[in-house]
Amino acid sequence: MRVWLELALAGAIGAPLRMYLIDLVDISPRRGRIGVSIPAGTLVVNAVGSLMAGFLAGLVRYQGLSVSTQVVLGAGFCGAFTTFSTFAFETVRFIEQGQPWNATKNTTASLACGALAASVGMAAASLL
């Protein structure tokens, strides 16, 4: 029962934080200058969340963090903070707008950043 309450709290924090950060990145005045054509907000939250989730998975594997803590912080907070559906929608929207190149860029960049971030997080936990 307690894990459900903690998960609920994790979701109540993770989801609004994601919306706030996506807004923050997507309206950043720097965005135009560095020429980002793909949805940078979603990319950033997914990479940051993957880094944290990888770190937590590494703590479980190397430092003996309890799995119940990982469930709440990893599956709960990081799971709510990152999103697949928004990413998938934005990619399909590129295809529909006749920009398959941007769809490919978005998919590749999201995957590469996410997987790399998770691996870095895990490796960092092993070094503690």
Does 110 contact other proteins by CB under 8 A?
yes
Q: How far is the CB of 55 from other proteins (least distance, A)?
A: 10
Distance between CA 78 and CA 20 in Å, rounded?
15
Applying CB under 8 A, does 128 fall inside the site for other proteins?
Answer: no
Contact 93, 25 (CB under 8 A): no
**How far is 82 from 21, CA to CA, in rounded Å?**
11
50 within 8 A of 117, measured Cβ to Cβ: yes
- Give the shortest CB-88-to-other proteins separation in angstroms: 4
Contact with other proteins (CB under 8 A) among 66, 100, 101, 111: 111
**Site for other proteins contains 102 (CB under 8 A):** no
End-to-end Cα spacing for the chain = 32
User: Nearest approach, Cβ of 97 to other proteins (angstroms)?
Assistant: 6
Q: Which of residues 13-72 bind other proteins (CB under 8 A)?
A: 13-16, 18-20, 22-23, 26-27, 39, 41, 46, 49-50, 52-54, 57, 71
Spatial distance between the Cα atoms of 26 and 40, rounded to a whole number of angstroms: 6
CB 81 within 8 A of CB 15: yes
**Which tokens belong to 84?**
């697949």
Q: Is 73 in the site for other proteins (CB under 8 A)?
A: no
DSSP label of 75: I
Residues within the interface to other proteins (CB under 8 A): 3-4, 7-8, 10-16, 18-20, 22-23, 26-27, 39, 41, 46, 49-50, 52-54, 57, 71, 74-76, 78-93, 95-97, 107, 110-111, 114-115, 117-119, 122
